[in-house]
Amino acid sequence: MTAPITKNDRTTVYIEDLTHDGNGVAKIDGYPLFIQGALPGETVEIHVLKTLKNYGFAKVVEILEPSSDRVEAPCVYFSQCGGCQVQHLSYEGQLKWKQNMVANVMKRLGKIDAPVLPVKGMDNPWNYRNKAQIPFAQNEAGEAIAGFYKTKSHNIVDMERCLIQTGEADAIMGQLKDELATLGIRTYNEKSHQGMLRHVVVRKGRATNEVMVVLVTKSRKFPQAQAAVEKIRELVPNVTSIVQNVNGDKTNVIFGNETVTLWGKDAIEDTIGNVRFEISARSFYQVNPEQTEVLYKQALDYAQLTGTETVIDAYCGIGSISLFLAQQAKLVMGVEIVPQAIEDAKRNAELNGFTNTYFEAGPAEEVIPRWYAEGKEADVLVVDPPRKGCDEALLNTIIEQKPKRVVYVSCNPGTLARDLRILEDGGYKTQEVQPVDMFPHTTHCEAVAWLELG
């Protein structure tokens, strides 16, 4: 394809859609242009920044006809920070776009004709994240900064507050950095590999109000630990756990392998629905527990359990969906490749008094066929894979073992559509797809699909 425009051209275009990065999409003679800040339905004048063989990039010069869903982004860091992509789109507009996006992906990529229902959103789509991973660094003057990364970079936008995080995280991000010099704590410089404090992770139990603060340091030796504990307790009165994690590697990975408790409990607790969870510094736990309850209840509804069924939960993680299912199933068997997650799942089952669960570590595509060979067959199979979707071998296992119902919980509509197509070709029929907005003001959308064996 030859680009019909060149760099520095100015022209007027109509915005047809959004990308997964939140950029507007316009086409000139079939040639796509990605335009930051533009919304679907708008007519804008643009300045072309770059043209490649198959697509180009442009910026908005003037919005000639704005979308009726355009709003002023309430966050002062919106144009810099990469955390939210669509704060300039009204929340109602976000939900409409996400439903259309999921529906279009189902039809275009998966050739799936099942109904895609309206997105289940939040009454209050702010301050929903119960986990903040805040990088601490130095500016050019050597002063402490903290915030989140600028779009498509590793440069920190120095921030005082974030509208989708908790107030406790804001207190750490906005106030602790100002106290570090007094405390004698130097923040980390990733270029020189000097300094002590790399990240601060703040976790909160929505139902319990318990807060954990994790100080990620370059070395185990931390002379200012007690002073840091006292300051954090002052800034976050409801803190119940302060721990240190040690990461001495030159890496972008946040956590190291060693974690020690500096003050308070080793873990905090939270509940989703009627299920309790213990959350340690490195435990996986959904960051929006309010919508997680909506998501899991949807999976439970689609499972249609009567108390007589055996359910297999592939990619079970710490057992969060498994325990929801166990409330209404005869037996739930969870498999997960990460051994530590399986230990967490067993502990969470014990915490809740469930005796009808069984968890095993290993690849689902190997463990599940063995279970079937041992006579442990499932009436319902639930999958909640990572963004890359299900392993092909697992999909083949499902098709071969033929559980009568499959519930697919997805964090990526593209891989969901791909996998549904494979399952439909293998004899299943998608009944409906229910999107759930787990991450308001971003382009991410979760969905739950219900399939029956044909």
Angle at 172 (CA atoms; ends 252, 265), nearest 5 degrees: 85
Which amino acid, 159? M
Residue 259's pLDDT band, with cuts at 50, 70 and 90, is very high
Do the first three CATH levels of 95-123+288-453 and 131-266 match, i.e. the same topology? Answer: no
3-class SS shares of the chain: helix, strand, coil, % to 5: 25, 35, 40
Question: For residue 152, is pLDDT > 90?
Answer: no
d(CA 230, CA 267): 19
What local confidence, expressed as pLDDT, does residue 20 receive?
86
Nearest to 202, CA basis, from 277, 254, 253? 254
Give the count of beta carbons closer than 10 Å to the beta carbon of residue 346: 18
d(CA 313, CA 334): 5
Q: In the predicted model, what is the mean pLDDT of the chain?
A: 96
Under 8 Å CB-to-CB from 193, ≥6 apart: which residues?
218, 250
**How confident is the model over 334-351, as pLDDT tens digits?**
999 999 999 999 999 999
**How confident is the model over 361-382, as pLDDT tens digits?**
999 999 999 999 999 999 999 9
Residue 48's pLDDT band, with cuts at 50, 70 and 90, is very high
Question: For residue 151, is pLDDT > 90?
Answer: no
d(CA 370, CA 362): 11
| % of the chain with per-residue pLDDT over 70 | 100
- Domain map of the chain by residue range? 10-65, 95-123+288-453, 131-266
d(CA 196, CA 138): 11
**How confident is the model over 185-223, as pLDDT tens digits?**
999 998 899 999 999 999 999 999 999 999 999 999 999
What local confidence, expressed as pLDDT, does residue 454 receive?
87
- For residue 423, what is the enclosing H or E element? helix 413-425
Nearest to 159, CA basis, from 132, 182, 141, 184? 132
Q: Which of 75, 81, 84, 411 is catalytic?
A: 411
d(CA 215, CA 229): 10
CA atoms within 13 A on the CB side of 268: 28
Q: Which residue has the tokens 């010069």?
A: 61
What local confidence, expressed as pLDDT, does residue 82 receive?
84
Question: For residue 141, is pLDDT > 90?
Answer: no
**How confident is the model over 13-23, as pLDDT tens digits?**
999 999 988 99
193, burial (CB in 10 Å: exposed 0-12, middle 13-18, buried 19+): exposed
CATH number for the region 95-123+288-453 comes to 3.40.50.150
What local confidence, expressed as pLDDT, does residue 353 receive?
97
* Residue 411 annotated to the active site: yes
What CATH superfamily is the domain 10-65? Nucleic acid-binding proteins (2.40.50.140)
Are the C-beta atoms of 226 and 244 separated by less than 8 Å?
Answer: no
Q: In the structure encoding, which two tokens stand for residue 404, read together?
A: 């009568």
Backbone angles phi, psi at 162, to 5 degrees: -135, 130
Residue 154's pLDDT band, with cuts at 50, 70 and 90, is confident
d(CA 11, CA 19): 21
Are the C-beta atoms of 378 and 333 separated by less than 8 Å?
Answer: yes
CATH T-level topology, domain 131-266: OB fold (Dihydrolipoamide Acetyltransferase, E2P) (2.40.50)
Q: What is the pTM of this model?
A: 0.94
